[in-house]
């Protein structure tokens, strides 16, 4: 079950697609509202995309279970500048326990093998 996207996701223009193996992909089109310096994505837009991919993947895995997620730690590594292309992000759950979840996300543009950024999130689960 996919939850509706919040207003910030709408501002970023995010949409959700299905990738290989039915993996969820978040897509952020290049547009004026995600530009930092001319011709490049704003770091906050990239971090927001990664956060939506990570949390969305976790919520999807949890299904209809009612859980409140509280971030413990979030780390974003910026590897290269995002340019005038659509940006994709996907996440994987490294660990899903009763109280803690660890999620990793990557963002890329033209080549998935060359990510522009990656994030790791540690979350407290309140069931």
SS3 45: helix
Q: How many residues appear in the chain?
A: 127
Q: For the chain, what are the domain ranges? A: 7-126
> So what's the pLDDT on residue 97?
97
| Distance in angstroms (rounded) separating the CA atoms of residues 116 and 127 | 34
Mean predicted confidence (pLDDT) in 82-96: 98
| Distance in angstroms (rounded) separating the CA atoms of residues 35 and 24 | 24
Q: What is 7-126's CATH topology?
A: Thiol Ester Dehydrase; Chain A (3.10.129)
The arrangement of strands across the sheet holding 117-126 comes to: 15-18, 24-28, 87-96, 100-108, 117-126, 68-78
Digit-coded pLDDT (tens) for 43-88: 999 999 999 999 999 999 999 999 999 999 999 999 999 999 999 9
């Amino acid at each position: 079950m996919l939850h509706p996207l919040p207003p910030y996701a709408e501002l970023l223009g995010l949409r959700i697609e299905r990738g290989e193996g039915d993996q969820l992909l978040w897509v952020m089109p290049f547009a004026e509202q995600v530009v930092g310096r001319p011709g490049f994505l704003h770091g906050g837009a990239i971090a927001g995309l990664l956060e939506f991919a990570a949390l969305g993947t976790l919520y999807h895995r949890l299904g209809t279970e009612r859980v409140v997620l509280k971030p413990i730690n979030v780390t974003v590594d910026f590897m290269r500048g995002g340019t005038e292309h659509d940006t994709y992000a996907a996440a994987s759950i490294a660990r899903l326990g009763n109280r803690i979840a660890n999620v990793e996300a990557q963002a890329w543009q033209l080549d998935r093998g060359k990510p522009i950024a990656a994030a790791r999130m540690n979350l407290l689960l309140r069931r």
